[in-house]
Structure 1
Amino acid sequence: MKTILHRADTRGDANHGWLHSKHSFSFANYHDPERMHFGALRVLNDDTVSENRGFGTHPHRNMEIISIPLEGDLRHQDNMGNKTIIKSGDIQVMSAGTGIMHSEYNHNADQPVKFLQIWVIPNKQGVTPRYDQITLNVADRKNKVQQVLSPHPDDAGVWIHQNAWFSMSDLDQGKEVSYHLQDAQHNGVYAFILKGDATINGQALHQRDGLGIWEVESLDIKADSDTEILLMEVPMALN
C-alpha cells in the first residue's frame, strides 16, 4: 500500500473576494510540482462563491468536469442549450471533448454557494461534448457507500469517459464501512473528508484533508465523529 497525505491547510488558497477557492492540486496561480494530479484526478477545487456572483462564460476542452454542490444552489448555462440549477444532493458532469462554453453563478441572493469542481483526465480525446445532471438519493449513503459516478452509462450515478468510480458516504460516529476498489490493479483512491473526522486504513483524517491510496484492494473507513466522505477511484497511469 502506498499513500500520500494532503492536510487541509496545505492546499492552495486563492481568495478573490467574491470567490474563495482551495486547490488540492495545482490550478491557476497555485503551482506545486509535487501536487500536479493524483493519477487521472487533475483538479479538486473547494469553491465558495458569493451571492449573485460567479464564473462568466469560459471554454473547456478534453476534460471530464464534475460539480458537486455542498451548500446552496449553482446556476449553469452552456452553448449546448442547457440552463439548469444544481442543488445540494445533485451531481453534474460535462464531457468537454471537442470544446464547450459555459458559465456558473450562485443562484442565491442571500447565501454563498459552496461546491466542489473536479476535473478528471479522460481516456478518449475529441469526444462529442455532453452534459448530464442527476439528483441523488442522499439516504442511500447513510452509514454505507453510495456510488455516484462510474464509466458506464447504465450504472448508478453519472458517467464519464474514464475508468473511474466516485462514491459518497455519510457516517455516524463509530460506524465502519469498507470500500473495495473496482480495478485494484490499475486504480487508486483519493479520499476527501467533507465533514468530520475519520480513520482510513489507519490514517487519521480531519475535515477537508485528502488521502491518496494505491496498490491496495480495499479501504477500511471508521468515522471518528459524524463524517461525510467523497471517494474518487481513478487510474494511476495516464493513457
Structure 2
Amino acid sequence: MKQIPGKIYLADQRGHWQTPHLQRFSTFNYQDFYQEHKQPYGDLYLVNEETLAGSQNLTYHLDQASHILIIPVTGAVNLSTPANALMPVEVGQVLILTAPAPYSFQLVNPYAQDNICFLQVRLRAKNGIAEVFTNLIPFTLDDPGNPLTEIIPGNSVPNVPDYKFRLSLGRFAGRQEITYPLEDNQQFFFAFVLAGAFEAEGRLLHEKDGLSLWDTPQVELEALSNNAIILILEWPRAEN
C-alpha cells in the first residue's frame, strides 16, 4: 500500500524559550529558533504552546496578515488589542483574531499567581484584509459517540470573506478510531496531539507531536490511549 506523503514534527525537537515568566515551545521556526526543516507548511506558519506566569502579559507583532487562533489549555487568557478592552477566552473556547499587518496585540494572564497554558496557531491570511475581526467560539468534547468536534467549519471563517479553513478538536477513548474526510485531495492537513497518543496513517504520534499530510482525500486516525486529545486543521493548498 502506498503511504500518504507527510511529515512528523516531534515534540522534543520543538524550539524552546524560557524566562522566569514564560515557557514557549515552537513547532515551526519562530523568533530566534530556526531550523531548515521547520519552515511554514503552506499557510500554517506558527504553532506555539505557551505557559505564562501569573499577572504577566505578552506583546506580539504581526508582519503579515494572519488568522490567529488562541486555544486555552489550562486557565483563561485575556486578549488585549488597540481597539478593545480585555476579551477573556476560557477553556472550552477558541478565539479567532484576524488582522492585517502591521498589527500588535497582547495576551494577558488574568490570575495573580497561577500559570496559564494556551496554544497559539497562525495561518497566513489574504493580503486584502484591511480590518480586524474577532470571533469567540465555544465548544465541548463530551460526545463519546462522535469524538471529533468541528469548531470552525470548512466553508468560511465567520465574518471574514474569501478565506477557508477548518478546525476540529477531539477527545478519544483508547482504540477509538475515525476516518477524517478532507474536502478533496488538494487540501492541506495538520494534526497536533494535545494529550495521549495516536496513530495517523501509519505514523505514531505522541503528546505534542505534529503531523502534516497532503495528496489524500481522507486520514485514518486511531487513539492509542484513553482521553487522547487531538487538534486538526485543514485548508486549501492554493490559497493566496
TM-score (norm 2): 0.89
Asked whether the 8 Å contact 1:98–1:129 carries over to 2, the reply is no
What is aligned with 1:81? 84
What is aligned with 1:194? 194
**Structure 1 unmatched runs, 5+:** none
Correspondences of 1:22-61 after superposition (within 5 Å): 22-56=25-59, 58=61, 61=64
Which residue of 144, 152, 162 corresponds with 2:156? Answer: 152
- Distance in 2, matches of 1:27 and 1:160, equals 28
- Identify if the C-alpha distance between structure 1 residues 168 and 74 changes in structure 2 by more than 3 Å, giving closer, same or farther: same
Q: SS at 1:139's partner residue?
A: coil
Asked whether the 8 Å contact 2:92–2:138 carries over to 1, the reply is yes
Q: Does 1:90 align with 2:93?
A: yes
Asked whether the 8 Å contact 2:141–2:147 carries over to 1, the reply is no
Asked whether the 8 Å contact 1:190–1:210 carries over to 2, the reply is yes
- Distance in 2, matches of 1:160 and 1:8, equals 34
- Distance in 2, matches of 1:192 and 1:160, equals 26
Percent identical pairs in the alignment equals: 20
Q: After superposing the two structures, state which structure 1 stretch, 142-151 or 167-176, moved more.
A: 142-151
Asked whether the 8 Å contact 2:61–2:102 carries over to 1, the reply is no
Q: After superposing the two structures, state which structure 1 stretch, 217-226 or 130-139, moved more.
A: 130-139
What is aligned with 1:203? 203
Asked whether the 8 Å contact 1:8–1:210 carries over to 2, the reply is yes
What is aligned with 1:230? 231
What is aligned with 1:185? 185
TM-score (norm 1): 0.90
Q: After superposing the two structures, state which structure 1 stretch, 229-238 or 201-210, moved more.
A: 229-238
- Identify if the C-alpha distance between structure 1 residues 102 and 141 changes in structure 2 by more than 3 Å, giving closer, same or farther: farther
Correspondences of 1:3-152 after superposition (within 5 Å): 3-56=6-59, 58=61, 61-97=64-100, 99-140=102-143, 143-150=146-153, 151-152=155-156
Give the total of aligned pairs. Answer: 235
CA RMSD of aligned residues (A): 2.2
Asked whether the 8 Å contact 1:98–1:128 carries over to 2, the reply is no
